[in-house]
């Protein structure tokens, strides 16, 4: 039988990464965070002193799996740079091969925006993970912040919400491979679920479909 491929898509900070990682561990499958490919490309543009809104093909071609373990990929300037390079059709084309090759032999869990629609339209399982903007902003803020008692906590969370909303709007409105649920994706809304509950729900879905 064909290797098991599980696509996990959804907006920023919905809990895709946490779920995909835990699913991979539970099912003993390789895991790829595809956002890191765009982050690594954006990072390379910034390091080279190039504007990430300009063509990033050369930098995308140089991305290797090693680049993905860089520790400076999850910073706000790279959030923006990644989204900008990800809107370039030629960059997406270059990064398709590495994503498909990763999963061909042993299957994989991949999380991103277009895994179920473009990268693996025939994936056996497609999950679309969502949460309200408020829940996503609070979780992302909790991940980032050192001080949970900061006096301007609400203002900080509002700022994170604003940035997530802008990135989702850009990712959803781009012409190529926009953020969108595949017609056959199963939606998981994570507002009222713990990480354990999300994993349990996903494992039930996988069991049903395999
Ligand atoms: O998932 P993450 O937030 O790390 O992704 C960073 C950016 O990379 C996203 O905002 C999106 O623009 C882009 N991306 C994409 N397609 C994917 C994964 C990420 O366009 N499959």
State how far the Cα of 89 lies from the Cα of 61, in Å rounded to an integer. Answer: 13
Task: Tell me how many domains the chain contains.
Answer: 1
- Residue 9: domain span: 5-209
| pLDDT bracket for residue 1 (50, 70, 90) | confident
- Cα 79 to middle of ligand 1, angstroms: 8
Q: Residue 70 is part of a domain; what is its CATH number?
A: 3.40.50.300
Residue range 83-102, pLDDT digits in tens: 999 999 999 999 999 999 99
Number of H helices, E strands in the chain: 8, 5
Pocket of ligand 1 (CB under 6 A): 12, 34-35, 38-39, 82-83, 86, 112-115, 167, 171
- Cα 87 to middle of ligand 1, angstroms: 10
Q: Is 42 annotated as a binding residue?
A: no
State how far the Cα of 201 lies from the Cα of 139, in Å rounded to an integer. Answer: 20
According to DSSP, the residues that pair with 186 across neighbouring strands are 127
Q: Is 85 exposed, middle or buried (0-12, 13-18, 19+ CB in 10 A)?
A: buried
- 158 pLDDT more than 80: yes
Of 96, 117, 120, give the one whose Cα is nearest residue 108.
120
Residue range 12-53, pLDDT digits in tens: 999 999 999 999 999 999 999 999 999 999 999 999 999 999
Prediction pTM value: 0.95
Q: Is 155 annotated as a binding residue?
A: no
Report the complex ipTM. Answer: 0.98
């Amino acid at each position: 039988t064909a290797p098991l491929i599980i696509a996990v898509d959804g907006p920023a900070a919905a809990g895709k990464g946490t779920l995909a990682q835990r699913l991979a561990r539970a099912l003993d499958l390789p895991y790829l965070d595809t956002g890191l490919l765009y982050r690594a490309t954006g990072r390379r543009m910034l390091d080279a002193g190039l504007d990430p809104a300009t063509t990033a093909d050369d930098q995308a071609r140089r991305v290797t799996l090693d680049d993905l373990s860089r520790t400076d990929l999850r910073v706000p300037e790279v959030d923006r740079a990644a989204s900008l390079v990800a809107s370039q059709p030629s960059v997406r084309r270059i990064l398709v091969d590495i994503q498909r090759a990763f999963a061909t032999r042993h299957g994989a869990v991949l999380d991103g925006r277009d895994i179920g629609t473009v990268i693996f339209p025939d994936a056996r399982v497609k999950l679309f993970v969502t949460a309200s903007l408020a829940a996503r902003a609070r979780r992302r803020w909790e991940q980032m912040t050192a001080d949970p008692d900061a006096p301007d906590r609400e203002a900080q969370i509002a700022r994170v919400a604003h940035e997530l909303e802008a990135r989702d709007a850009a990712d959803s409105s781009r012409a190529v491979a926009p953020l969108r649920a595949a017609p056959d994706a199963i939606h998981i809304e994570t507002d009222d679920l713990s990480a354990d509950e999300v994993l349990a729900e996903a494992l039930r879905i996988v069991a049903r479909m395999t």
